[in-house]
Amino acid sequence: MSDVDSRVRRPELGASVVARGIRTNYLEAGSGPPVVLVHGSGPGVSAYANWRLTMPALAERFRVLAPDMVGFGYTERPAGLRYDTETWTDHLVGFLDALGLARVNLVGNSFGGAIALRVAARHPDRVDRLVLMGSVGVSFPITPGLDAVWGYQPSLENMRRLLDIFAYSRELVTDELAEVRYRASIQPGFHESYSAMFPAPRQRWVDALATPEEEIAALPHETLLIHGRDDQVIPMEVSLRLLRLIGNARLHVFGRCGHWTQIERGEEFNRLLVDFLDRPSARR
């Protein structure tokens, strides 16, 4: 099978670039001002799984790039790599450097929000506008939902339980989706790297993903916070705290919505995101 045939059949496989020495898989679509999407940390996650419903809408007006962060998806997993906030922040900045992206709009989901927030705080000139969805980034008591996500052990039944935690509506939690996500979680090397990231006790990893509050308060960026009111993974209070800390922030809350705002409220989410990003000052 040729590379072309493989990529047609495997939409989660995109282009690749070496970022900070790591061969990085990423998806790309559209043209215009660059928007970089940073996925969350669920088992079997990839840029495609996280952003497949978002990229087509954004690609009508933007150049959209979605990398698999190191340790996830189809990006290289170097032996002995330490998975921590600094490694992921370095990897994301390296990805921008490898593609010659001096300044981007940055969208981070959950774990990806913590990485986006850290990049914005430590490299403010690299970020135009910032979007944080159900984001980590400040310390909070770990929820049972997040503890279950990070403590996932591969089985179809365990994946079904996690999907019930992620989504508000059971209509989204089909046997087919559970099967797809379970199969993704047991790809060679996937669970080995995943289980190394957040071993118990897991409160320390919530704290490690936090950016100091004084750095958050100094952010100059226009910031959109998005949260599902019924999120069982990251409590809405986290976004409320970020709203109080970030001077130029606004918060949109979806009722009857869990952790998957971009999937559970896909059309509304896409309109919200495009409207926020597609303004003249975002195209400097």
Catalytic residue among 68, 90, 128, 231: 231
The answer for residues whose C-beta is within 8 angstroms of residue 152's C-beta and 6 or more apart is 42, 43, 158, 159, 162, 185, 194
Which secondary structure element, helix H or strand E, spans residue 252, and what is its range?
A: strand 249-254
| Cα distance from N-terminal residue to C-terminal residue, the chain | 43
Q: Degrees (nearest 5) of the Cα angle 111, 113, 119?
A: 115
Radius of gyration of the chain (CA): 17
Determine whether 164 is an active site residue: no
Nearest Cα neighbor of 195 from 150, 145, 142 is 150
Determine whether 231 is an active site residue: yes
Catalytic residue among 39, 221, 227, 259: 259
Determine whether 6 is an active site residue: no
d(CA 73, CA 95): 15
Cβ atoms of residues 131 and 223 within 8 Å? yes
Catalytic residue among 110, 135, 185, 239: 110
Reduce the DSSP state of residue 27 to 3 states and report it: strand
φ, ψ for residue 184 (rounded to 5)? -65, -35
Residue whose entry in the numeric block shows the structure tokens 């998957």:
260
d(CA 136, CA 140): 9
Which residues are part of the catalytic machinery? 110, 231, 259
